[in-house]
Structure 1
Amino acid sequence: MKRAMYYVARGLSRQLGELTEETDYGKLQKVYSIWVCYDPKMPRRLKNTASRYKIKKEDFFGKVEESAADYDLMEVVMVRLDAMAESNEELFDYLKGILTNNKEKIIRHTGTLSDDIIEEVDTMSGVGALIFETARTEGLAAGFEQGLEQERRNQIEKLLRKGKTPEDIAEYNDYPIELVKSIQESLTD
């Protein structure tokens, strides 16, 4: 929850940038952050719940009339789905359908759909699949980069063992001289 509040606070502060004597706080607009949590390890008491957190004025001495637009500038909605069990709540069922790419659940909650939209639902991937694919792609890119780094290191080590100078290796292969020298030092350790 603190993380969500931090994000809306940052979103609010980003609207003004650097504060000066001329800062116009009247330009601030309300910031919303909606979180959909879908974690099988979530505590039971939180599963299939939704909560809204916002700023609310409370007069404790006297009564002051103020527009909520002047102070209610941050709101967080936290939806916590039970990853393992079904829910009778339509919102939870629909969101689970989206996250798991369950087209029957999606169609059940969106009503009658045209053939075009049904075809799109058939071919869409759920948000979970999208997150997985993004992470997989990033992991592959990182792995590829690590492989290139290791190959570069192996090549430098091989040339150093053949008696090439760090300067020649760096110049011929367009490597930073610091990299070649650090690899040379690691070979002598």
Structure 2
Amino acid sequence: MENQRMVENHLAHTIGQTENEARYDKATKKLPANKLVLAHIMKGCVEEYRSCPVHEIAEKYIEGEPEIGTVGVHADDTNRVHHSTADSTISGSNSEDATLTEGTIYYDVRFNAIAPKSDAEPEELIRLIINVEAQNKFKPGYPLTKRAIYYCSRMISAQHGSVFTKSEYGKIKKVYSIWVCTNPPEEFQNSVTQYSIKAEPIVGNAAEKVENYDLMSVVMVCLGKPGTENYTGILKFLEVLLSSSRAAEEKKKILTEDFGVPMTTTLEREVLEMCNLSQGVKEEGIEIGIRKGIKQGVEEGKFLALAELVKDGTLSVEVAAAKAKMTVDEFKKAMKGTF
């Protein structure tokens, strides 16, 4: 009965921790939906906005004219979802992309944007579709760059029926998939890498217009630790924003003073929620670790006591092995490693 209670308690805590981790992950993914946060990401990661002030990107280019919304939520049956921009947040930013055979994919943040134009560019507005993903696991069992390229392909193919029909391929919008990796391996830390389509002449020097093939870009933003090389700009901004160890007040101070991000009611609430959930996940992890350590210590103590009884001849090795729930060979092998 006692063992059953221990198993039930462990299961309950595990379920609780899993739920906390899921809520923390969700909170992490909500923060990039703030328009000023998106503006910083766009300025640091999207070539079209590098020379624009952050406030201008937020006010003028995110979900701007001619229309506000995202392109269809289904690859097989495209439809359009419109979002409100109350309190500078992209509402409903978890756009869903699904097919009958491939299951469901949820985009963390996906939105339309207008690219700035120079005087030399044509009057027609340049429109982009941008996807931002917050990713905790850098190696989830497959290369993230391949998944990001798949997301780009989805965002292009989903434009059929909403952005263009039949053979109107000239209307296809360029897409960006930006992945913010919070726990990359050391060799990837504090790096921003773009993967895109480039022209490479093989024979001759034919020159196609860049806008006719430069239609998708993946940007991998791999965060690092404070005080390390390249810890500045967008890398510092996102590390502070998404940090699981910084207190809410510290985050708000740095974001406001170093990056000019005012604490709106929504952003302040989301920062606080993420910090609270982060602390809860840590405490759950520590508690589970302590319980595991106690249990392991008890088991090791039981084995050592049985081994001592076998060593001094009080108990046969067969009986001791049975009490330790081990085979005789396993018990003997463990004894050799102990004495």
TM-score by length of 1: 0.56
Shift of the alpha carbon at 1:78?
Answer: 0.9
Partner in structure 1 of residue 194 of structure 2: 52
Hey, what's the Cα distance between the residues in 2 that align with 1:52 and 1:80? 12
Partner in structure 1 of residue 142 of structure 2: none
Shift of the alpha carbon at 1:85?
Answer: 4.2
Hey, what's the Cα distance between the residues in 1 that align with 2:220 and 2:273? 18
- Give aligned-pair identity as a percent: 33
Q: 1:3 to 1:34 in 2, by over 3 A?
A: same
Shift of the alpha carbon at 1:110?
Answer: 2.2
* Runs of 5+ consecutive residues of structure 2 not aligned to the other structure: 1-144, 282-339
Residue 91 of structure 1: which of 234, 237, 245 is its match?
234
1:15-164 alignment runs, 5 A limit: 15-17=159-161, 22-39=166-183, 42-82=184-224, 84-87=225-228, 88-100=231-243, 101=248, 102-111=251-260, 117-118=262-263, 120=265, 123-126=268-271, 129=274
Q: 1:44 to 1:77 in 2, by over 3 A?
A: same
Hey, what's the Cα distance between the residues in 2 that align with 1:49 and 1:31? 21
Residue 14 of structure 1: which of 158, 161, 168 is its match?
158
Hey, what's the Cα distance between the residues in 1 that align with 2:172 and 2:218? 17
The answer (yes or no) to whether the contact 1:93–1:105 under 8 Å persists in 2 is no
* Runs of 5+ consecutive residues of structure 1 not aligned to the other structure: 137-189
The answer (yes or no) to whether the contact 1:35–1:78 under 8 Å persists in 2 is yes
Partner in structure 2 of residue 174 of structure 1: none
Q: 1:86 to 1:124 in 2, by over 3 A?
A: farther
Partner in structure 2 of residue 145 of structure 1: none
Q: 1:107 to 1:3 in 2, by over 3 A?
A: same
Hey, what's the Cα distance between the residues in 2 that align with 1:70 and 1:122? 38
Hey, what's the Cα distance between the residues in 2 that align with 1:52 and 1:85? 23
Shift of the alpha carbon at 1:61?
Answer: 0.3
Give the residue type in structure 1 aligned to 2:218: V
Partner in structure 2 of residue 163 of structure 1: none
SS in 2 for 1:97: helix
Give the residue type in structure 1 aligned to 2:191: T
Hey, what's the Cα distance between the residues in 2 that align with 1:46 and 1:76? 16
Q: 1:61 to 1:85 in 2, by over 3 A?
A: same
Shift of the alpha carbon at 1:27?
Answer: 1.4
Shift of the alpha carbon at 1:108?
Answer: 3.0
Hey, what's the Cα distance between the residues in 1 that align with 2:179 and 2:272? 13
Shift of the alpha carbon at 1:53?
Answer: 1.0
Shift of the alpha carbon at 1:90?
Answer: 2.3
Shift of the alpha carbon at 1:97?
Answer: 1.7
The answer (yes or no) to whether the contact 1:86–1:93 under 8 Å persists in 2 is no
Query: CA RMSD of the aligned region, Å?
Result: 3.2
Partner in structure 2 of residue 5 of structure 1: 149
Shift of the alpha carbon at 1:44?
Answer: 0.8
Partner in structure 2 of residue 160 of structure 1: none
Hey, what's the Cα distance between the residues in 2 that align with 1:127 and 1:79? 24
Hey, what's the Cα distance between the residues in 1 that align with 2:204 and 2:150? 31
Shift of the alpha carbon at 1:28?
Answer: 0.6
TM-score by length of 2: 0.32
